[in-house]
């Protein structure tokens, strides 16, 4: 599945559709049945271009899904490992780091955001796991 997550995320967040691509696929770990590293040049139907780097052998990077969109007037960057923050830069202005907060969200985003800023969206699931493990220990 290497590369499918980034393509799906780009397609979902930008609406861009791939027209063509050129990929270099490698297997660095002997014995693996599937590719564990890929560099992909992408051309979208809109004329925009993209670069994907997907790797399961990049030591020091956990699940480093990162998206950068560069335009004529500025850029944005989002990282899965820091999901509450968005880096925004406009030409001639200082770089800004925006943080997630409920009050400023669009109605559609607000509908799926249950927690205030400072609490990651997986917090409820984490507590559910703690309570479930505690219950299992009591029943054992």
pTM: predicted TM-score of the whole model, two decimal places: 0.72
Q: Hey, where are the domains in the chain?
A: 4-101, 102-140
CATH class, domain 4-101, is alpha beta
pLDDT in tens, 122-132: 767 777 888 88
pLDDT in tens, 108-125: 777 767 777 777 777 677
Q: 26 forms bridges with which residues in the sheet? A: 37
pLDDT in tens, 60-108: 887 788 999 999 999 999 998 888 889 999 999 999 998 877 677 778 7
């Amino acid at each position: 599945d290497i590369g499918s997550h980034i393509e799906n995320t780009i397609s979902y967040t930008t609406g861009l559709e791939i027209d063509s691509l050129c990929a270099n696929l490698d297997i660095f770990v002997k014995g693996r049945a599937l590719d564990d590293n890929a560099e992909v040049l992408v051309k979208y139907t809109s004329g925009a271009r993209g670069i994907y780097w997907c790797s399961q052998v990049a030591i020091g990077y956990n699940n480093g899904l990162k998206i950068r969109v560069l335009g004529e007037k500025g850029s944005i960057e989002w990282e899965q490992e820091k999901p509450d923050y968005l880096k925004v830069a406009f030409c001639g202005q200082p770089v800004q780091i925006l943080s997630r907060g409920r009050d400023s969200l669009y109605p559609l985003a607000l509908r799926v955001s249950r927690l205030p800023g400072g609490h990651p969206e997986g917090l409820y699931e984490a507590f559910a796991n703690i309570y479930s493990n505690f219950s299992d220990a009591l029943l054992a």
